[in-house]
Structure 1
Amino acid sequence: MIASIVQFLRRDVTRGVVGTILLKVGSGALAFALFSLAARTMSPDGFGIFATWLSVAQIAAVVGLVGQESLLVRFLNEYRVEDRPDLTKGVLLSSLKISSVAMLIVIGAIAIVASTRGDGWLLIVAVSAYTAVSAGLMLGSQVARSLVSILIGEGSREILWRVVVVLFLLVALFGHGQLDPAELLAVMTIAMSIGIVTQIVAVARVLPDFRGTAAHFETSRWRSSALHFWVASILEAANQYFDVILVYWMLDPASAGIYFAASRLANILALLSAALYSFGARRLPSLYFSRNHQEFERTLRLMAEVTALCVVSGLLLIWVGGPYLLNLFGPHFAAQHWVLIVLAIGTAVQAAGGPSAAILQLTGHERIYVPVVAANVALRLVGFLVLIPWLGVLGAAISATASLAFATIALNILCRRRTGVDPSIFVLLRFSSWKRGTYAVRGAEPGE
């Protein structure tokens, strides 16, 4: 058994997946520390307001990117395999221009809405600045991950700036300082700017010299893909952040803070899905476009092995240690253990489903992905409207888990039918997950 484990850990794919997961776990631990310290340095209502505006800003950042972050992952990998620096330059210039203009429009909309609500100017400026910097960090991490490494792309987005904010919050906590949402958002914005600078420096070092390369544009193709990526990204962001806004609107700020804390803890398992997406987005597209289906299958199987192990251990951690983890946010959070368990079941199902969403989007099937995510959002919204008045925060958790399970099952079925690949942990029960001769990418015919 020991020899088998050692051999398993020596595999290159295993090391890559485990390394990416460890990176995500580290970022998750820092996020947990950040939010628990923030809850300790704010009043219950203040933390709920912070969580709500943070959710609004994250959704707004995705809206302002207009799908360009996913578009870059899709086409930078394709153009690198095809050795097309002219198209690489074109897609980079196009994405930067479109996202910059759209972000200015979104920031203006945030300022107008916040001012009509009567929020203070300091909070309006802080939310607007955080939205812009968050979008820049998100876009830069996709470019850095594709062109440099996962460590640079995800480390600058998830690790570096959180270390700075956690240190600031520790100083505030030990100094018995009381923060308000605007102050913390301002500190987070400044810290995230460091991550953007890191990304720019790293990407500039690996980009080819474009000065003698004429940029070529596949505008119609990019526009079509970006639209579907954009809608999918907005729906994904709504799945992740709109819950808190609805709880705030239907209940109160304190309840929104409780739901936010429980959902962040449940995301211990969602971090696994994010890690698999990060690893898959860097490795799988090149294998798919180069028709290396043997290595593609091998990569998926090893990803499934790591996933199965992490899902079981993550659920055990939530079941046993949930009350203690919730108590770190404050005594009134500890009573919400069942909310945490229900949310964790949903994220466990999602993780067990594997990177089906990434495979569909990165292989040219983004159009069928959007309706599933839209149905997920609609189902969750209906569940919130029915269950929150009856069960409160627990009703929100039940609705979120049910809709997430529906989306995961639907995406897996679509992934198997359209690409011939089973990305879930159930692939371990089969001899092969790849149907020989099936290429569902645009421009390829079956049997090619």
Structure 2
Amino acid sequence: MIASIVQFIQRDVTRGVAGTILLKVGSGALAFALFSLAARTMSPDGFGIFATWLSVAQIASVVGLVGQEMLLVRFLNEYQVGDQPDLTKGVLLSSLKISSVAMLIAIAAIALVANLRGDWWLLILAVSAYTAVNAGLMLGSQIARSLVSILMGEGNREFFWRVIVVLFLLAVLFGHRQLDPAELITVMTIAMSVGLVAQIIAIARALPNLRSMSARSETSRWRSSALHFWVASILEAANQYLDVILVYWMLDPTTAGIYFAASRLANIFAMLSAALYSFGARRLPSLYFSKNHQEFERTLQLMAEVTALCVVSGLVLIWVGAPYLLNLFGPHFAAQHWVLIVLAIGTAFQAAGGPAAAILQLTGHERQYVPVVAANVAMRLVGFLVLIPWLGVLGAAISATASLALATIALNILCRRRTGVDPSILVLSRFSASKSGTYAVRVADSGD
């Protein structure tokens, strides 16, 4: 048994998945520290306003990128495997141009809506700047992850800048100051800008010499894929951030802050899903397009093993420690520990489903992915409208968990039918029963 464990740990895929998960866990711990310190350095209403505008900015960043971040993951890997630097240059230039123009439009829309609401001009400026830098970091992390490393991509996107902000918040807390939302969003924007600059430098060094090479385009393929990626990204962002906005609108800023804190803690499992996606987005596409089915299967099996271990241990942690974790945000947060437990069940179910969404999108089946995510958003919205007036913030958590569970089941069924791959932890039962079977992985045609 010990020999088997040692062999499992020494596998390159295991180390890669574990390293990515550790990076995500570290990022999650810093995010937890950031938001808990923010809650203690702001008034309850101020924290709710901060959480709501942060959610708005995140959605706007995704809207402004118009699907280009996923488009780059999809085609940079394909062109690298096919040794096509002219197309690499073409897709990079096209994505940067399109996302820059669209982001300006998204920021202008935020500023206009905030101005009509009568919000403070400093808050409007801070949210607009945060939206722009966050979008740049999202796009840069996808490029850096494909061309440089996961650490350069995800580390600068989610880890390093949070260290700066946490240190700032500790200084504010010990100085007995009270922050307003605009101040904290400004500090976050400045810290994220440092990470964005580091990404730009690393990407410039990693790219082959493309200056003298003419760019070649596959505009019809890019346009078709980008549209589906964009819709999927917007729906995913709505799944993650629209909840807080709706709770703010249907209840009050203080309750929105409580729901935001609970949802961030429940993201211990979403972090696992994101880690698997980050690892899979770097490793699986190249295996897929090079038709290395044996290694593709092996990678998925080891990802499932790590996922099962993390899901079980994470659920135990949340079940036992929910009140204590929420109390770190403030005494009035701890009373809503059932909100955290219900949300954690939903995100754990999603994590157990594995990277089905990533596999569908990165293998050319993004058209089939979009309707499932759209149905998830619709079910969640209907659930909010029905359950929040009846059960309050707990109703919002129940709606989010139910819609997430149904969407996870649908995505896994779709993934198995379209690609021949079962990405969930259920695959472990089949591997233990039979070591000889292999996946019949189906590659989508370029027009899909």
TM bucket normalised to smaller: over 0.9
Q: Does 1:93 align with 2:80?
A: no
Q: Do the aligned partners of 2:297 and 2:438 also contact (CA within 8 Å) in 1?
A: no
- CA positional deviation for 1:444: 10
Q: Do the aligned partners of 2:57 and 2:131 also contact (CA within 8 Å) in 1?
A: yes
1:441 maps to 444
- CA positional deviation for 1:312: 0.1
Q: Please, what TM-score do these two structures have when normalized by structure 1? A: 0.98
2:205 maps to 205
Q: Do the aligned partners of 1:36 and 1:329 also contact (CA within 8 Å) in 2?
A: yes
Task: Kindly report which structure 2 residues correspond to 1:49-448, keeping only aligned pairs within 5 A, or say none.
Answer: 49-431=49-431, 437-443=440-446
Distance 1:289 1:3 in 2: 34
| Alpha-carbon spacing, 1:434–1:366, altered in 2? closer, same or farther (3 Å) | farther
1:6 maps to 6
Identity %: 84
Letter in 2 for 1:69: E
- CA positional deviation for 1:169: 0.2
Report the secondary structure of 2:208's partner residue.
coil
Unaligned runs of 5+ in 1: none
Once the two structures are overlaid, the 10-residue window that deviates more, 69-78 or 205-214, is 205-214
- CA positional deviation for 1:441: 2.0
- CA positional deviation for 1:272: 0.3
- CA positional deviation for 1:335: 0.7
CA offsets 1:340-371 (integer angstroms, 9 cap, x no match) = 00000000000000000000000000000000
- CA positional deviation for 1:187: 0.4
CA offsets 1:265-317 (integer angstroms, 9 cap, x no match) = 00011100000000000000000000000000000000000000000000000
Q: Please, what TM-score do these two structures have when normalized by structure 2? A: 0.98
Q: Do the aligned partners of 2:293 and 2:441 also contact (CA within 8 Å) in 1?
A: no
| Alpha-carbon spacing, 1:72–1:281, altered in 2? closer, same or farther (3 Å) | same
Distance 2:154 2:358 in 1: 16
Task: Kindly report which structure 2 residues correspond to 1:36-55, keeping only aligned pairs within 5 A, or say none.
Answer: 36-55=36-55
Q: Do the aligned partners of 1:297 and 1:433 also contact (CA within 8 Å) in 2?
A: no
Distance 1:438 1:174 in 2: 56
- CA positional deviation for 1:437: 4.8
Q: Do the aligned partners of 1:420 and 1:438 also contact (CA within 8 Å) in 2?
A: yes
Question: Which stretches of structure 1, 4 residues or longer, exceed 6 Å deviation after superposition?
Answer: none
Distance 1:7 1:376 in 2: 40
Report the secondary structure of 1:179's partner residue.
coil
Distance 1:148 1:196 in 2: 14
Aligned length: 445
> What value does the CA root-mean-square deviation take over the aligned residues?
1.3
